[in-house]
Structure 1
């Protein structure tokens, strides 16, 4: 069974909060930032309820989690102050990660801004050498994340990651985090040729270097270079392809992290669809949610059959409309999940349920009828 969890909060009581939130979703792993990803302010890691968090993890058999480095780290920058901050701050984040006993810290490789790709690759490799030379006493690997290709970011191809790794003296401390949304947006066909993509990765980087998977659907077609995550089944990748990744024999041993967003009106009070997504990918729908929940999904399926709405056709056609028709997008920019929720709301199908609860049932319907047959 795959190890699936989500990005969770590391606030107030640090690791304890994170572990308890992960448990509430039914996770078997999770990912954290050790502080705000947009700034350098950090509480001492020793004060982050680490032992209490580990006790919760032990109780629920979560033996491998992941740390994500802050977004503000850019080892590809030609500006000395930005580069030097990135080196120092990443070293500190690695030490914090090591204190937690975590083996992989995920890093966006960096962006070359006003230079070019060759400069960016060389600069990132230089930075990684400097970083790793200063934290040789830790057991932490840096997992370079596959990127979508927006702007000047490096890592949009497996070849770029391989070039970085070849130039790093301590490359035994480098691993890779494969993000499904990012590789899809970068042009890799994980929907129709997942095995081919993995063979390409193996030839270029090596499957033994793969350490973390980010499981995200995409709001954009393949090759768009956009990097906009979608809940599973509600994007261009679709649930079947995501399920193939999560249950692929070459990947099942890896921690798999959901970073899917909340889509809906009540964004201040509702949670992302992590619980439903984890239950789907783990094959534990009935165990997690019970018969009443599944009956609700059947009611949605009955309504959609009456309206002759097929789950994948509806999702793809909605995204195509929003992509190709500017007037239609301006008049009604609602995403597929929002439109489906509004249909159910108009029908008063679940008048006693919250938006979050209705969306959970929609996420399961978007996975297709075969999932319900197995539940």
Structure 2
């Protein structure tokens, strides 16, 4: 069965997100761990989490994905901002222990003219500081579009980060369809070729999640503008091929399209009918 969901607001808690997911025929979802444009986080509510875990078990909700706030930059030129990213992610991973066995996704960051090599070193250093053997969460590096000085626009950059992390068993990759398209990977006309390249560079065993988005921009634009399914340059048919591809169909898919809940419900139905 296709595992698919969308991005939901965490402001009302885990149980409310679970109910929203079921109402739109989703069996997973993504959420921000805290204010996506800041660092503030609500206190954890164990009762709410326990209600969600019971509800999730009843409704086969699994493999939820937490997303770090956009403001974090693990490879900033400013040491204070790097420390903020490290401490925030460390706290997020501690909070994720309330819902063990899931994933935590983050944007690698922007090296801000320091160079990709320095950016990669800062990111891997941070990961080595926050990952512990007892962790029950898999941390995912997200593929990026290459806007500005983003690290992660090429598979090789993500591979370099992974190679420098000691506890690699706690690491994986989240492939964002809009981002890889904008970075220049032609998933519309050469999906098999892109997956082969990913496998050769990173390894498909490291691919743990997919952000399913169309793109408002042409291939290789490095712009990062998400579009609703079928309203962008990738197109609905290409995205349907992704969710039904033999190498991908068992992964969880998370819609990040500019939508409301009824819009997400339509996209989920579209993808469920793709097979």
**Residue 57, structure 1, aligned to residue 47, structure 2:** no
**Residue 241, structure 1, aligned to residue 238, structure 2:** yes
* TM-score normalized with structure 2 length: 0.96
Could you tell me which residue of structure 1 aligns to residue 74 of structure 2? 75
Q: In the TM superposition, what are the counterparts of 1:289-368 in structure 2 within 5 Å?
A: none
- Whole-angstrom distance in 1 between the partners of 2:262 and 2:176: 18
1:276 alignment partner, one of 260, 266, 274: 266
1:212 alignment partner, one of 209, 234, 244: 209
Shift of 1:102: 4.1
Larger % of helix: which?
1
Unpaired segments of 5 or more residues in structure 1? 263-269, 284-370
CA contact 2:6–2:256 (8 Å) conserved in 1: yes
Shift of 1:240: 0.5
Cα 1:180/1:272, change in 2 over 3 Å? farther
Higher relative contact order (CA 8 A, sep 6+): 2
Runs of 4+ in 1 over 6 A off after TM superposition: none
- Whole-angstrom distance in 2 between the partners of 1:70 and 1:150: 17
2:190 alignment partner, one of 172, 190, 193: 193
Shift of 1:37: 1.4
Could you tell me which residue of structure 2 aligns to residue 118 of structure 1? 117
Secondary structure of 2:248's aligned partner: coil
Aligned residues: 275
- Whole-angstrom distance in 2 between the partners of 1:26 and 1:103: 20
Secondary structure of 2:98's aligned partner: helix
Could you tell me which residue of structure 2 aligns to residue 2 of structure 1? 2
- Whole-angstrom distance in 1 between the partners of 2:51 and 2:266: 27
* TM-score normalized with structure 1 length: 0.71
Per-residue CA shift, 1:261-307, capped at 9, x if unaligned? 03xxxxxxx54621011001111xxxxxxxxxxxxxxxxxxxxxxxx
Could you tell me which residue of structure 2 aligns to residue 84 of structure 1? 83
Secondary structure of 2:14's aligned partner: helix
Unpaired segments of 5 or more residues in structure 2? none
Could you tell me which residue of structure 1 aligns to residue 226 of structure 2? 229
- Whole-angstrom distance in 2 between the partners of 1:52 and 1:33: 19
Could you tell me which residue of structure 1 aligns to residue 162 of structure 2? 165
